[in-house]
Amino acid sequence: MNVCFKYRAIDAQGIHQRGLQHAASPRQAIAQLAARGLTVVSLEAANSANADPAASASGKQAIRRIREQDRILLLQELSILLKAGVPLAEAIVSLESAYARTPLGLPLSRMRQAIQKGDAVAAAFRQAEIGLPEYSYVLIESGEAAGRLHAAMQDAANQLEYDRNIAQEFTNALIYPAVLVSTGVLAVLAIFIVVVPRFASLIKSGRAEIPAISRWVIESGLFFKAHLLESGVAAVVIIALAVFALRHPPVRQALLEALAHMPVSGPWLSNSEIGRWATLLATLLENRVPLLDALTLSARGLRRTRDRRELANVGDALRRGRVLSDILAEQGWIPATRINLIRVGERAGELPRVLAELGRLQSDAARQQMKRLLTLIEPIAILLIGGVVGFIMIAIILAITSLNTAQM
């Protein structure tokens, strides 16, 4: 089914042309106009003002379902098209047609409209509401100003992919410990609900003095069995409250700060923070973002309040003529050996490259510490679950022993 498109184009003599073109898709309309020797400046459906409100509402809901992988793929595809010499307006129209029935369809439509109005590329990305982090817009803006927009988009995609891979590695590493802990908890509950109540006759017979520990375990098992529904509802409510609380940034921040002060998790979080900061700062500097602006943006990528506060003071010190490496050395949140790398990069005029290497080193160290931390979860979980099961078994054995002793 053909659609009527309104177009603005430039012919071979440089004269602006306006008109209507019937085609099955925006891409086909552009191809037909190109065959006539016209270079498309803008293209939109002639009946776009009469778009279905339900479809628009559906598109708004789809924005919430945009995945991180979708954002990365969009930036990569735009970078490839621009590098191949495709004009930005044509590239966005082409992608809008390709993603029309996906969550990216409506954001790309907004982006196209902003580009057609003459807005800057970074502003068009903001209006699209794709959900990119702030540094992505700055990278795109600096790339547009420097005439290397395709490289800036690729750098933004690489940084997004780096952040996603770090989060994915942590999630994957947690799967086995989570399964182990969940299985252990279910086993303990099964013992309490199924096995322990079978020994209720020991405390009801009254023929022996049952130890307090045995009486408490058996009565707890009877209570859980008698109030199974209430206990299940209470467990669900507790889990729901925990999930609800963790969705709030202040709660997550408080948990992060607590973990940062613990012996094993603290060094891991510290190395992870430094790696993320150094990688992002290197990317920004490579795209010719001024150092002060790059420091402000890279600080937003840090999760710990103390680190963000320390970096906030760096800008004032730099304005007074001080050197970045000396300021960071005084703050003490970056190891001295890593400060030496930054100092060498400053002296050699290779700060972006050295920061990128620093980010790689710190990220590798953080990965190793994360694996070490998660490796500890398994034996700790086994010891705790085994301890609980052993406690229950000892309590029951003591009860049986007491009964046998009374009968002798």
Residue 82 has pLDDT above 80, yes or no: yes
pTM of the full structure: 0.63
Element housing 19 (H / E): strand 16-23
Per cent of the chain over pLDDT 70 is: 88
Residue 7 has pLDDT above 60, yes or no: yes
pLDDT band at 237, cuts 50/70/90? very high
Residue 266 has pLDDT above 90, yes or no: no
What confidence score (pLDDT) does residue 14 get?
A: 59
What confidence score (pLDDT) does residue 12 get?
A: 63
Residue 179 has pLDDT above 80, yes or no: yes
Per cent of the chain over pLDDT 90 is: 2
Element housing 348 (H / E): helix 336-348
What confidence score (pLDDT) does residue 89 get?
A: 86
pLDDT (tens digit per residue) in 240-261: 998 888 888 788 888 888 888 8
What confidence score (pLDDT) does residue 11 get?
A: 66
pLDDT band at 68, cuts 50/70/90? confident
Average pLDDT, the chain: 80
- Beginning with the edge strand found earlier in the chain, give each strand of the sheet holding 16-23 in spatial order: 16-23, 3-10, 39-45
What confidence score (pLDDT) does residue 53 get?
A: 38
CB 72 within 8 A of CB 157: yes
Q: Is the pLDDT higher at 12 or at 177?
A: 177
pLDDT (tens digit per residue) in 287-322: 888 888 888 878 877 888 888 888 878 878 888 888
Alpha helix segments (H runs only) across 84-211: 88-98, 105-116, 121-128, 134-146, 149-190, 200-204
User: What is the identity of the amino acid at 108?
Assistant: L
What confidence score (pLDDT) does residue 63 get?
A: 42
What confidence score (pLDDT) does residue 205 get?
A: 59
Site of tokens 């439509």: 109
What confidence score (pLDDT) does residue 54 get?
A: 36
Most confident range, picked from 7-21, 140-154, 193-207: 140-154
Q: What is the mean pLDDT of residues 153-175?
A: 83
Domains along the sequence of the chain with CATH: 3-161 (1.20.81.30), 175-408 (1.20.81.30)
Residue 173 has pLDDT above 80, yes or no: no
CA dist 142 → 138, 176, 353 (Å): 6, 43, 18
pLDDT band at 41, cuts 50/70/90? low
pLDDT band at 226, cuts 50/70/90? confident
Closest C-alpha among 72, 84, 83 to residue 158 = 72
The b/e string for 131-151 (b: 16+ C-beta within 10 A; e otherwise) is: ebbebbbbbbbbbbeeebbbb
Residue 13 has pLDDT above 70, yes or no: no
| Rounded-to-integer distance, Cα 173 and Cα 268, Å | 14
Cα 288 from chain centroid? 26
| Rounded-to-integer distance, Cα 177 and Cα 273, Å | 24
What confidence score (pLDDT) does residue 51 get?
A: 41
